[in-house]
């Protein structure tokens, strides 16, 4: 049975954080990826609205510059070794390409916050809440959501804008995040909130 909880939603200065919407994860041509055009489309809707409102947009990607980075993670999942700086797999999917002023933050582990400057970038822009989207629900999305809460942000997960190769894991992690760490909302609910700002 889930704990009683209070719905917080978004604050007055939300940012959109797109987690690993990179070629290596949005294409089944990569061992790490899965074709997910519906997730890409949902991200595009949110991206367009955040840009129209002049709200912060930040991306993450996974890049390994040397063999001594994230060695245990890479030993567990050898397919991660294709994510090198010169690879197209680490580039943001062209359908969601960043524009000037939208940083792509490199990370080596699951969370967008862990050993990156994501928190500092959000604080510098006065962000009080984040909408987390991307891939995968049970992996990097969940890790970022938990760390978002632990960095004292109100966190919303846009349900149609996250995805996972394992649908059971996707559903279970959406349930867990909503129960403990974040609000899981439909994309339209997020758009409605942005319309009130």
Q: How many CA atoms lie within 13 A of 39 on its CB side?
A: 26
- Our CA angle for 53, 16, 140, nearest 5°, is 170
Distance CA 144, CA 91 (A): 19
Of residues 30, 36, 108, 140, which has the active-site annotation? 140
The sign of the CA dihedral 197, 14, 16, 143 is negative
Tokens of 83: 């994510």
Distance CA 190, CA 186 (A): 7
Active site residue 108: no
Question: Which residues are annotated as catalytic?
Answer: 140
């Amino acid at each position: 049975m889930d704990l009683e909880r209070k719905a917080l939603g978004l604050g007055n200065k939300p940012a959109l954080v797109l987690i690993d919407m990179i070629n290596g994860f949005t294409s089944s041509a990569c061992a790490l990826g899965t074709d997910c055009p519906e997730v890409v489309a949902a991200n595009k809707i949110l991206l367009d609205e955040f840009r129209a409102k002049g709200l912060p947009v930040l991306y993450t990607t996974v890049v390994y510059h040397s063999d001594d980075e994230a060695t245990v993670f890479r030993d567990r999942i050898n397919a991660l070794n294709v994510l090198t700086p010169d690879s197209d797999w680490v580039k943001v999917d062209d359908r969601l390409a960043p524009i000037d002023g939208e940083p792509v933050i490199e990370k080596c582990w699951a969370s967008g916050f862990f050993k990156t400057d994501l928190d500092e970038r959000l604080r510098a822009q006065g962000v009080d809440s984040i909408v987390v989207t991307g891939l995968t629900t049970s992996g990097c999305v969940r890790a970022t959501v938990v760390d978002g809460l632990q960095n004292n942000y109100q966190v919303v997960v846009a349900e149609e804008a996250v995805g996972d190769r394992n649908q059971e894991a996707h559903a279970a992690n959406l349930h867990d995040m909503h129960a403990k760490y974040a609000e899981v909302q439909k994309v339209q609910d997020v758009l409605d909130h942005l319309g009130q700002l």
